[in-house]
Protein backbone atom coordinates (compact mmCIF):
# COMPACT_ATOMS: atom_id res chain seq x y z
CA UNK A 1 0.00 0.00 0.00
CA UNK A 2 1.16 3.47 -0.77
CA UNK A 3 1.72 5.77 2.13
CA UNK A 4 2.88 9.29 2.86
CA UNK A 5 4.26 10.08 6.30
CA UNK A 6 4.71 13.57 7.66
CA UNK A 7 6.14 12.86 11.08
CA UNK A 8 6.04 16.47 12.26
CA UNK A 9 2.52 17.32 13.34
CA UNK A 10 3.28 20.90 14.39
CA UNK A 11 6.27 23.18 14.08
CA UNK A 12 6.66 26.64 15.61
CA UNK A 13 9.38 29.04 14.53
CA UNK A 14 10.14 32.70 14.83
CA UNK A 15 10.24 34.90 11.75
CA UNK A 16 13.43 34.68 9.71
CA UNK A 17 14.25 31.19 10.91
CA UNK A 18 14.69 28.46 8.34
CA UNK A 19 12.41 25.47 8.70
CA UNK A 20 12.32 22.05 7.02
CA UNK A 21 9.18 19.98 6.68
CA UNK A 22 9.80 16.27 6.30
CA UNK A 23 7.99 13.88 4.00
CA UNK A 24 8.68 10.17 3.62
CA UNK A 25 6.76 8.03 1.18
CA UNK A 26 6.26 4.38 0.30
CA UNK A 27 5.39 3.13 -3.15
CA UNK A 28 5.88 0.12 -5.39
CA UNK A 29 5.37 2.15 -8.55
CA UNK A 30 8.47 2.84 -10.60
CA UNK A 31 6.97 6.00 -11.99
CA UNK A 32 5.26 8.34 -9.61
CA UNK A 33 4.85 11.99 -8.72
CA UNK A 34 5.29 13.83 -5.47
CA UNK A 35 3.60 17.06 -4.52
CA UNK A 36 3.49 19.70 -1.83
CA UNK A 37 0.37 21.73 -1.09
CA UNK A 38 -0.17 24.63 1.29
CA UNK A 39 -3.44 25.14 3.16
CA UNK A 40 -3.57 28.60 4.76
CA UNK A 41 -6.18 29.47 7.41
CA UNK A 42 -8.61 30.38 4.63
CA UNK A 43 -8.81 26.64 3.89
CA UNK A 44 -8.09 26.53 0.17
CA UNK A 45 -5.34 24.13 -0.91
CA UNK A 46 -2.61 25.78 -2.93
CA UNK A 47 -0.38 23.75 -5.22
CA UNK A 48 3.33 24.39 -4.58
CA UNK A 49 5.33 21.85 -6.53
CA UNK A 50 5.22 18.59 -8.48
CA UNK A 51 8.23 16.33 -8.91
CA UNK A 52 8.41 13.15 -10.96
CA UNK A 53 10.33 10.11 -9.81
CA UNK A 54 12.94 10.40 -12.53
CA UNK A 55 13.99 13.92 -11.62
CA UNK A 56 16.04 14.08 -8.45
CA UNK A 57 17.32 17.57 -9.00
CA UNK A 58 16.61 19.85 -6.11
CA UNK A 59 14.43 22.80 -6.87
CA UNK A 60 14.44 26.31 -5.51
CA UNK A 61 11.68 28.85 -5.90
CA UNK A 62 12.33 32.04 -4.00
CA UNK A 63 12.42 31.16 -0.32
CA UNK A 64 11.16 27.64 -0.98
CA UNK A 65 13.34 24.67 -1.80
CA UNK A 66 12.71 20.97 -2.14
CA UNK A 67 15.08 18.06 -1.62
CA UNK A 68 14.05 14.83 -3.31
CA UNK A 69 16.08 11.75 -2.40
CA UNK A 70 14.92 8.50 -3.90
CA UNK A 71 17.42 6.50 -1.86
CA UNK A 72 15.67 7.48 1.35
CA UNK A 73 12.18 7.91 -0.18
CA UNK A 74 12.05 11.45 1.08
CA UNK A 75 10.81 14.71 -0.39
CA UNK A 76 11.56 17.42 2.14
CA UNK A 77 10.51 21.04 1.91
CA UNK A 78 12.55 23.94 3.30
CA UNK A 79 11.38 27.48 3.83
CA UNK A 80 14.23 29.94 4.21
CA UNK A 81 13.82 33.10 6.27
CA UNK A 82 10.26 32.20 7.25
CA UNK A 83 7.55 34.83 7.40
CA UNK A 84 4.28 35.06 9.28
CA UNK A 85 2.42 34.55 5.99
CA UNK A 86 4.01 31.11 5.75
CA UNK A 87 1.82 29.96 8.65
CA UNK A 88 -0.32 27.18 7.24
CA UNK A 89 -0.79 23.45 7.07
CA UNK A 90 1.52 21.86 4.52
CA UNK A 91 0.65 18.58 2.87
CA UNK A 92 2.92 16.21 1.02
CA UNK A 93 1.22 13.93 -1.52
CA UNK A 94 2.08 10.97 -3.70
CA UNK A 95 0.41 9.94 -6.94
CA UNK A 96 -1.09 6.49 -6.84
CA UNK A 97 -2.09 4.51 -9.89
CA UNK A 98 -5.76 3.69 -9.80
CA UNK A 99 -7.99 1.84 -12.19
CA UNK A 100 -8.43 4.19 -15.08
CA UNK A 101 -6.15 6.92 -13.81
CA UNK A 102 -4.31 8.25 -10.80
CA UNK A 103 -5.21 9.76 -7.46
CA UNK A 104 -3.17 11.70 -4.94
CA UNK A 105 -2.60 10.22 -1.52
CA UNK A 106 -1.91 12.86 1.11
CA UNK A 107 0.02 12.81 4.32
CA UNK A 108 -1.68 14.09 7.47
CA UNK A 109 -0.01 17.46 7.13
CA UNK A 110 2.35 19.59 9.18
CA UNK A 111 1.02 22.73 10.82
CA UNK A 112 3.61 25.50 10.64
CA UNK A 113 3.25 28.51 12.91
CA UNK A 114 5.54 31.45 12.31
CA UNK A 115 5.50 34.15 14.95
CA UNK A 116 6.82 37.67 14.66
CA UNK B 1 -14.68 28.88 -14.98
CA UNK B 2 -11.42 30.29 -13.70
CA UNK B 3 -11.28 27.99 -10.71
CA UNK B 4 -13.01 25.05 -9.10
CA UNK B 5 -16.29 26.17 -7.60
CA UNK B 6 -18.05 24.33 -4.78
CA UNK B 7 -21.45 24.95 -3.32
CA UNK B 8 -22.70 25.44 -0.77
CA UNK B 9 -19.70 26.73 1.14
CA UNK B 10 -21.36 25.77 4.41
CA UNK B 11 -24.13 23.33 5.14
CA UNK B 12 -25.73 22.48 8.46
CA UNK B 13 -28.08 19.54 8.38
CA UNK B 14 -29.96 17.40 10.82
CA UNK B 15 -28.87 13.85 11.41
CA UNK B 16 -30.72 11.50 9.08
CA UNK B 17 -31.28 14.02 6.30
CA UNK B 18 -29.78 13.72 2.82
CA UNK B 19 -27.38 16.34 1.47
CA UNK B 20 -26.02 17.16 -1.97
CA UNK B 21 -22.69 18.85 -2.48
CA UNK B 22 -21.85 20.36 -5.82
CA UNK B 23 -18.56 20.81 -7.64
CA UNK B 24 -18.04 22.80 -10.82
CA UNK B 25 -14.53 22.02 -12.14
CA UNK B 26 -12.27 24.10 -14.32
CA UNK B 27 -13.56 24.07 -17.85
CA UNK B 28 -11.87 21.38 -19.91
CA UNK B 29 -10.53 19.41 -16.95
CA UNK B 30 -11.40 15.78 -17.55
CA UNK B 31 -10.48 14.47 -14.12
CA UNK B 32 -12.45 15.37 -11.00
CA UNK B 33 -11.76 14.27 -7.43
CA UNK B 34 -13.59 14.34 -4.14
CA UNK B 35 -11.75 14.36 -0.81
CA UNK B 36 -12.88 14.64 2.77
CA UNK B 37 -10.98 16.51 5.45
CA UNK B 38 -12.10 15.91 9.00
CA UNK B 39 -11.08 18.29 11.79
CA UNK B 40 -7.35 18.10 12.30
CA UNK B 41 -6.97 15.28 9.80
CA UNK B 42 -5.41 14.93 6.41
CA UNK B 43 -7.24 14.53 3.17
CA UNK B 44 -9.12 11.30 2.68
CA UNK B 45 -9.64 10.28 -0.94
CA UNK B 46 -13.26 9.44 -1.73
CA UNK B 47 -13.75 9.04 -5.47
CA UNK B 48 -12.57 10.34 -8.80
CA UNK B 49 -14.03 10.72 -12.26
CA UNK B 50 -12.48 10.49 -15.67
CA UNK B 51 -15.07 12.18 -17.82
CA UNK B 52 -18.41 10.94 -16.52
CA UNK B 53 -17.04 7.59 -15.42
CA UNK B 54 -15.96 6.75 -11.87
CA UNK B 55 -13.49 3.87 -12.28
CA UNK B 56 -12.63 3.68 -8.60
CA UNK B 57 -15.23 4.12 -5.87
CA UNK B 58 -13.27 2.24 -3.23
CA UNK B 59 -12.67 5.36 -1.13
CA UNK B 60 -16.33 6.00 -0.43
CA UNK B 61 -16.74 5.33 3.31
CA UNK B 62 -20.15 3.67 3.11
CA UNK B 63 -23.05 2.96 0.77
CA UNK B 64 -24.68 6.16 2.04
CA UNK B 65 -22.20 8.04 -0.12
CA UNK B 66 -22.61 8.33 -3.87
CA UNK B 67 -21.41 10.65 -6.59
CA UNK B 68 -22.17 11.39 -10.17
CA UNK B 69 -20.84 13.58 -12.90
CA UNK B 70 -22.76 14.70 -15.94
CA UNK B 71 -21.61 16.18 -19.21
CA UNK B 72 -18.00 15.77 -18.17
CA UNK B 73 -18.43 18.82 -15.99
CA UNK B 74 -20.43 19.32 -12.78
CA UNK B 75 -20.29 16.64 -10.12
CA UNK B 76 -22.59 16.01 -7.19
CA UNK B 77 -21.63 14.15 -4.04
CA UNK B 78 -24.68 12.86 -2.18
CA UNK B 79 -24.72 11.69 1.39
CA UNK B 80 -27.88 9.91 2.46
CA UNK B 81 -29.10 9.62 6.04
CA UNK B 82 -26.29 11.81 7.32
CA UNK B 83 -24.54 10.92 10.56
CA UNK B 84 -22.54 13.13 12.89
CA UNK B 85 -19.31 11.47 11.79
CA UNK B 86 -19.97 12.78 8.29
CA UNK B 87 -19.19 16.29 9.56
CA UNK B 88 -16.12 17.45 7.65
CA UNK B 89 -14.92 19.68 4.87
CA UNK B 90 -15.56 18.10 1.49
CA UNK B 91 -13.04 19.21 -1.09
CA UNK B 92 -13.30 18.88 -4.82
CA UNK B 93 -10.38 19.12 -7.24
CA UNK B 94 -9.96 18.90 -10.96
CA UNK B 95 -7.06 18.41 -13.30
CA UNK B 96 -6.36 17.97 -16.96
CA UNK B 97 -4.31 14.91 -16.10
CA UNK B 98 -3.99 13.59 -12.54
CA UNK B 99 -0.24 13.45 -12.50
CA UNK B 100 0.13 17.16 -13.09
CA UNK B 101 -1.46 18.17 -9.85
CA UNK B 102 -4.88 19.29 -8.93
CA UNK B 103 -6.63 22.59 -8.52
CA UNK B 104 -8.79 22.49 -5.44
CA UNK B 105 -12.00 24.28 -4.67
CA UNK B 106 -12.62 26.05 -1.37
CA UNK B 107 -14.63 23.15 -0.04
CA UNK B 108 -18.02 22.63 1.56
CA UNK B 109 -18.04 22.57 5.34
CA UNK B 110 -20.71 20.06 6.36
CA UNK B 111 -21.97 20.01 9.92
CA UNK B 112 -24.41 17.31 10.97
CA UNK B 113 -26.29 18.16 14.16
B19-44 residue pLDDT tens:
999 999 999 888 899 999 997 678 99
Closest-CA residue in chain B for A31?
A: B99
**Contact flag B101-A100 (C-beta cutoff 8 Å):** no
A1-31 residue pLDDT tens:
669 999 999 999 999 999 999 999 999 888 8
For B49-58, the CB contacts below 8 A with 24+ separation are: B49/B75, B50/A100, B50/A101, B53/A100, B55/A98, B55/A99, B55/A100, B55/A101, B56/A98, B56/A99, B56/A100, B56/A101, B56/A103
Closest-CA residue in chain A for B48?
A: A103
Q: Please enumerate residues of A whose Cβ is less than 8 A from a Cβ of B.
A: 33, 35, 37, 42-45, 47, 50, 52, 91, 95, 98-109
Amino acid sequence: AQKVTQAQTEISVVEKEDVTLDCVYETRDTTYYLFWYKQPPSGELVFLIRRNSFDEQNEISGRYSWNFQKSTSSFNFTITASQVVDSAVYFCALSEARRGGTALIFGKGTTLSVSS
Amino acid sequence: GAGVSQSPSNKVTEKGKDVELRCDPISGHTALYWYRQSLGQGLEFLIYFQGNSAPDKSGLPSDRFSAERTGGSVSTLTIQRTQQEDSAVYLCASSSTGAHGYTFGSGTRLTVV
